Each structure stands twice: as structure tokens, then as C-alpha cells.
Amino acid sequence: MTSTLRGADIVMRSLETAGCTRIFTLSGNHIMSLFDAALETSLDLIHVRQEAAAVHMADAWGRLTGRPGVAMVTGGPGHANAVAALFTARGQESPLVLLSGHTATGELGRGGFQELRQAEMAAPVAKASWTAHATETLGAELARAFRIASSGRPGPVHLSLPSDVLDRAVASGTIAWPARADFVPAPVDLADPAADAALALIAAAERPLLIAGPQLATSAGHALLERIEAATGMPGAVSESPRGIADATLGAFSALVARADMIVLLGKALDFTLKFGALPGDGAGRRWVMLDPEGPILDRAARELGPRLAFACLADAYPAGEALIRRAAGAARARPEWRAEAARRLRGRPAAWESLAAATAGKLHPVEVFRALRPYVAADPETVLICDGGEFAQWGQSVLAAPRRLINGVGGSIGASLPFALAARVAEARAPVFAVLGDGTFGFHMAEFETAVRRDLPFVAVVGTDARWNAEYNLQLRDYGANRARGCELAPTRYDLVVTALGGHGELVERAADLPGAIERALASGKPACINVMIESIAAPNLRGDEVLG
């Protein structure tokens, strides 16, 4: 007798073949067959409270592990909720695969249940987006989705799965099963002559500066930049913030950029974060080198930069970095003075910050919060730090350092930090996980504390409560005047009590002296924890000038 399998079984078994162990999901009519099929596998379905949270968790998983995260949601409104979160992952070059249930193909155009043009809806925020039509090839389509998500400049991929395609049973012998290797893309290397040409230009420069793209904002990526600097004498930084050269993480980066006579872009698109090439100190004398996995990005840079673009080549970021290291072979210039200057500008901070304190009773200055948190973040090299939101989180990005850090990214959207923290705890079983976020940001996914409690995923959220959408408030003051701020007020809510009601641990802090104890108790609780800190409403740090940093 010929055995048969449903499409849902093919999907779940193919995910196992890919090496997937966990799926971030929320149930719904169109994907119930997938939930049923998962019972016959070892796949762990982590179900959340809102579909966007599932995508954010898959995003964080992809960034922390380097392997595509998988989000699975129902069709129609579930898919619509999920699509919004793809924007953050796309901007941050995070590999993930979104699987969405879908109206049965026989009902399309007839007013089918939750009928929606899902592939077209996801296409603008995904590397690729399509709908499956054949049960026999579902495994092969999954392998294609994984390959695209991880290839070149990584990013999210969407695949819609119609319910009738999932429910249909087909003979085992007709199934196009993928092998493990089918899920993995072939890298695009930088050829030796191209690496030599780039290195010759770098060697001729006095003050070359490497700027890497968001996909290198990982512990492995930062380690690669350190090795490139050691091999070539060229310091580097990762540009992953919508604030561009004003990124609080990078100190006086704008002053450093103004001094550079060559900029090397490694997997970093020439976009608004780099002012489309019109950077401080830019002129005809500054030359550019660009190594990027996308031809259209190189073409766009050539149009923007003109003759200033000295060299451009198609290559994946990590292999290109390795090629530069290999071909430099100790022959590059050391440039100790330039490297020291870069380190001082990137890592130094004003000495006054060490004594900065709030002027308002019952509230803390943001820098007081992060001075207290700093030793706890630094205590374990595997700590995961998440910074999400506007002004408060910008202070966190400037004061705190961790090799494993997640931010909201180039897309500039806020609200992902709590799902990020859950996924970080799934990926990291032991080391501390800290999420730093403002009170506005907290409201996006506060219900995911219930998910964290239910799944026993402890982490510590430090919420800066100033009862204001502070980033927008400061924009309104800057652009429209002191009396033109509108729609930025929030209530000074007891978010700590919200988390306690959901089964977690809550702390309220109104004095700097009480914060270390609150952090200790939150860590010791072994629960998902919220430290609700009442803060002054302070604008983000601005180190764009050429300050003397300590």
C-alpha cells in the first residue's frame, strides 16, 4: 500500500530537515493542520499573544544565531499583523522566514474566508514573497525560502500556504524532499585580484575608515572588524541605527568620519544613514571603496558618488572581510595614531557623565540608570542587551556595551524589545538578558510578559518612565517651537504592577540608590521582571561635535 502525507506534514518534516527546532507562532484557522502535524515532530511551537511578536522573535533568533528564525501565523488578519514586523527585520538584515496560512486556492476570487493578497502585501518588506500552489513541492519551496533569507544581504522571506494545499494528502513517492544542503546558500566570495585592488587603495590612504552594515552587528561581525583592523590598520564601526553618524553607540562618530580620507563600505548600503555620501568633511579628495552583495546597491552608489567611488565589487560581507584579512598578509600599514584616534572617538564618553544626576526629586537622569546597570551587563561576556525606543534607549546605547546586542535598527520602528528578550532567552539559556526600553515602547507588546511567564523565559526589562513620547516631543520642539508640542503625553503607569499581575516580578525605582538592589532582586527572582524607573524627560545624548572625550 502506498503511504500518503498531508502538505502540513511535509512542511513540518522539512523544517526539521532544515535544522529548525523552534517556531514562533500564534494559532489560527488556516494553520491548524500545521499545529497538528507538529505533534509528530520534535519542533517546539512557542505561541505568543500577537502575530507581530512572533516575527520579532524570529528576527531576534536570526540575529543571535545566524540561522533563519521561523514565524508561523494564520492568514488574513494574522498575516496583516505579522507583516508590519517584517519592516524591522528587513532594515536590520535579519534572516527569517514567515509562513502564513492562506485562503484555500479554490475559494480565491469568490470571497473566501479571510481572503487577502498576502504575497503582494508582504513583498515591499521582504526579500521575496510568494504563495505555494502544489503540495508535492512544499519542502522544496521551504528550502528556497531559507536560502534566500540567508543569502547575500540577509533578510525576511514570506511564503503563504493555502489551507487546501496543506490539507491535501499525496503519495510519499511524489514528494520533492529537500536535503539539508538545499536550505543553505552558496556564498559569493571576493576574488583575490579584487581584494588586492581594494587593499592597494586602503594602503594608499592616510586615514581609511571601514563602515559595516547591520548584518555585522553581531559578536562574530565585531570580531571580524577587529581582525580587519589588525590586518590592515583600518579601524571600523557598524552602522545599524536610523540616526546614522549620530548613533549614540558610536560616540563622536561624525567627527571621526570628517577626518577620514577614505571610506570602505563592507555590506553597508549608501543610504540616508550615510547622508547619501554627503558626509562631514566630504569632498573631491575623499575616496570610497564598496564591497556589497547586491548589484543594484553598487549601481546606486556609483550614481551618488560619481568619480569619488574608487572601487566597487560584488561580494558577500563576511567572505569579503575574510579575503581582505587573508590578502593583507601583514603587509598593510599599522597606522597606530589613526587607530588610537578612532578608538578614542568611538569609545570615549564625557567624564562629566560619571557624576551626572537628576535635578528632580523622585526621578533619575537616564545616565544614572545605565551607570547602575553597567556592571551587571559587563559581568558576563555572553549577556544579551536589547535597546529599543527613543531617547531613553539612546542613553543606554551610549553608556552600555555588550558583544551580543539587539537594537530596533535602521528601520527606526520601536516596540520589538520584549519579543526580542523572549527569543534571546530561548537562544541563550544561561547568561543575563536585559531589555532597555521607554514607557511608550513598553506598550506595544506588554502582553508578551504572559508568554514569558508561561514559557519560563526570565529576563529583566528596565523601563524608563517619563510619561511621554519623548523622541517625538523633542522633534516637535526642534522643528515647530516650544509651544507646539502635541500628542506626546502618557500616564505615569505602574508597569511593574502590570508585570506582577501577569505573574512576573516588578520593581518601582524612584531613587538612584535603590536601583542596584532592584536589579539584584529582579535577577534573583528567576522570573520575567520589570524594573519601572521614574526618569526625567531628557533628550538623547548628542556627541556629534568634536568634544574631548574621557
Average pLDDT, whole number, for the chain? 94
C-alpha to C-alpha distance for 107 and 110, rounded to whole angstroms? 5
The phi and psi torsions of 374 (rounded to 5 degrees) equal -50, -50
Reading the block at residue 50, the C-alpha cell is 500577537
- If you search the block for the grid coordinates 573631491, which residue do you land on? 284
The CATH classification number of 192-347 equals 3.40.50.1220
Could you please report the per-residue DSSP string of 154-183?
A: --EEEEEEEHHHHH-EEEGGG--PPPGGGG
C-alpha to C-alpha distance for 125 and 279, rounded to whole angstroms? 28
pTM: predicted TM-score of the whole model, two decimal places: 0.96
3-state DSSP helix/strand/coil % of the chain, to nearest 5: 45, 20, 35
Per-residue model confidence as pLDDT tens digits over 339-356:
999 999 999 999 999 999
Reading the block at residue 17, the C-alpha cell is 530537515
Maximum alpha-carbon separation in the chain: 80
Q: Is the pLDDT of residue 549 over 90?
A: no
* Residue type present at position 127: K
Q: How many CA atoms lie within 13 A of 321 on its CB side?
A: 26
Cβ(317)–Cβ(211) below 8 Å: no
- If you search the block for the grid coordinates 552594515, which residue do you land on? 213
Rg (C-alpha) for the chain, rounded Å, is 24
Q: Is the pLDDT of residue 91 over 90?
A: yes
- If you search the block for the grid coordinates 552583495, which residue do you land on? 293
C-alpha to C-alpha distance for 191 and 189, rounded to whole angstroms? 6
CATH T-level topology, domain 4-183: Rossmann fold (3.40.50)
Per-residue model confidence as pLDDT tens digits over 467-494:
888 888 888 888 898 888 888 899 999 9
DSSP H or E stretch at residue 344: helix 336-347
Bridge partners of 345, per DSSP, are: none
pLDDT of residue 488: 86
Per-residue model confidence as pLDDT tens digits over 109-145:
888 888 889 999 999 999 999 999 999 999 999 999 9
The DSSP code for 281 is T
The DSSP code for 223 is H
pLDDT of residue 342: 96
Q: Is the pLDDT of residue 527 over 50?
A: yes
> Do the domains spanning 4-183 and 351-534 agree at the CATH topology level?
yes
The CATH classification number of 351-534 equals 3.40.50.970
Spans of all domains in the chain: 4-183, 192-347, 351-534
pLDDT of residue 544: 56
Between CA 486 and CA 491, with CA 488 as vertex, the angle to 5 degrees is 130
More confidently predicted of 243 and 475 = 243
